[in-house]
Amino acid sequence: MRGIFYFIIVLLVASSGCSQKPEEYIKKGITKYNLQDYRGAIVDYTKAIELYPDYAMAYCGRGLAKYNLQDYRGAIADYTKAIELDPDYAIAYCDRGAAKSILLDYNGAIADYTKAIELDPNDADIYYNRGLAKYNLQDYRGAVADYTKAVELDPDYAIAYCNRGAAKSILLDYNGAIADYTKAIKIKPEDTDAYYQSRGLLKACIQDYNGAIADFTKVIEINPNAEAYKDRGLAKADLKDYNGAIADYTKAIEVNPKYSKAYNERGIAKDSLQDYTGAVSDYTTVIELNPNNAETYYDRGRVKFKLKHYRGAIPDFTKAIELNPEYAEAYYNRGLTKLNIGQINSGCVDLRKAEELGFTEAYKYIKKYCN
């Protein structure tokens, strides 16, 4: 990913009355910083400041070293001092904005990036960084505008296209987002597994399931991972290729044996193929991995009902209701299940509760069995 933070060092020419020693410490600090000896760099920048307290670049350099040591508040203090000494120091504003973003002060970060843009309006990175802050504040249109400016200034800014695509997808501009990911793939083919993954999900959103499958397949070729297999399985299921979907979910489980989502989706696919016993097995595994998911209990109960295992279905619907007391469909299905084993009064109570919660289909059974 293109660096969010940068520090341009231009050594000052000392006036006739000044020692050269501060610049020497700055040089040492830069060398140590580049060697990732951030603590050593701080020592040298501090020495330069002691010798020349008005040295804005020394504060900025020390701030960057502190940032890399995750001392974000210390970094902000140094950037602030650099700005006090040089109010037109665009880099210090930009780097302070980055530190504020890490501390989740996105409004403060935006203010700093905006000032940096005023001072240096042709720097694509600053627009990109401000776009990130706006995105984190859920100002997606503002983020799109900043990412757009970044790619105008740097047409090969792949991550800016990628992030603009992410913002567009939240704004439901799926075609625009797909175009951005396609551009990012073209610019940065070495980073394409994440881009293909995102584009595949978007294609699924516009029901281009074959296109989605092609993208997820590309991800698997580049970087086989459980999520890609699962997502390709979902696209195949949407095309009613349930056997193909099951094969992908199974592969996802091989990669990650505790991937509950893959077990759950495989259970759904097995249910669609009327392999109810297999579906119950998968739902049971999901429950073992995540025992507090009401929907999985409901799904297992529904499949047990299809197997006419009514007395096994009722506890599952009951558990779903315990986890989600407003689960109308669970009341409805528990009511129907009770009717099938002759528990008419109790079944009618459940059906009436389902209707009360807005599940209108319950009415026809209430009318038939409960009056």
Tokens 């995102």 sit at which residue?
198
**pLDDT tens track for 238-296:** 999 999 999 999 999 999 999 999 999 999 999 999 999 999 999 999 999 999 999 99
pLDDT at 1: 38
d(CA 150, CA 156): 10
154, 148, 98: which is closest to 123 by C-alpha?
Answer: 154
**Burial of residue 350 (number of CB atoms within 10 Å: 0-12, 13-18, 19+):** buried
Which long-range CB contacts under 8 A does 348-356 form with residues at least 24 apart? 353/328, 354/328, 354/329
Distance CA 32, CA 280 (A): 60
Q: Which pLDDT value is given to residue 197?
A: 95
Degrees, nearest 5: CA angle 254-297-366? 145
**d(Cα 234, Cα 52) in Å, to the nearest integer?**
63
Which of 128, 363, 288, 109 minimizes the C-alpha distance to 267?
A: 288
Spatial CA neighbour of 167 closest among 188, 145, 186, 187: 145
Q: With contact defined as beta carbons under 8 Å apart, do 82 and 63 qualify?
A: yes
Task: Print the SS3 string covering the chain.
Answer: CCCCCCCCCCCCCCCCCCCCHHHHHHHHHHHHHHCCCHHHHHHHHHHHHHHCCCCHHHHHHHHHHHHHCCCHHHHHHHHHHHHHHCCCCHHHHHHHHHHHHHCCCHHHHHHHHHHHHHHCCCCHHHHHHHHHHHHHCCCHHHHHHHHHHHHHHCCCCHHHHHHHHHHHHHCCCHHHHHHHHHHHHHHCHHHHHHHHHHHHHHHHHCCCHHHHHHHHHHHHHHCCCHHHHHHHHHHHHHCCCHHHHHHHHHHHHHHCCCCHHHHHHHHHHHHHCCCHHHHHHHHHHHHHHCCCCHHHHHHHHHHHHHCCCHHHHHHHHHHHHHHCCCCHHHHHHHHHHHHHCCCHHHHHHHHHHHHHCCCCCHHHHHHHHCC
Dihedral (C-alpha) 60, 62, 65, 66: value to the nearest 10 degrees?
A: -100
Domain 1-120, CATH homologous superfamily name and number: Tetratricopeptide repeat domain (1.25.40.10)
Residue 22 confidence (pLDDT): 87
Residue type, 208: D
Supply 32's token pair. Answer: 């140590």
Q: Tokens 């350099």 label which residue?
A: 61
Residue 305 burial (10 A CB sphere; 0-12, 13-18, 19+):
buried
Whole-number CA gyration radius for the chain: 30
Chosen CATH of 292-371 out of 1.25.40.10, 2.40.50.140, 3.30.230.70, 3.30.390.10: 1.25.40.10
Q: What residue type is 86 in one-letter code?
A: D
Residues of the chain falling short of pLDDT 50: 1-19
How distant is the alpha carbon of residue 7 from its chain centre? 29
Instruction: Tokens 């060092």: give the residue.
Output: 9
Give the per-residue pLDDT at 193.
Answer: 85
Residue type, 307: L
Query: Cβ(203)–Cβ(169) under 8 Å?
Result: no
Give which of 289, 278, 282 is closest to 265, Cα–Cα: 282
CATH 1.25.40.10 residue ranges of the chain are 1-120, 292-371
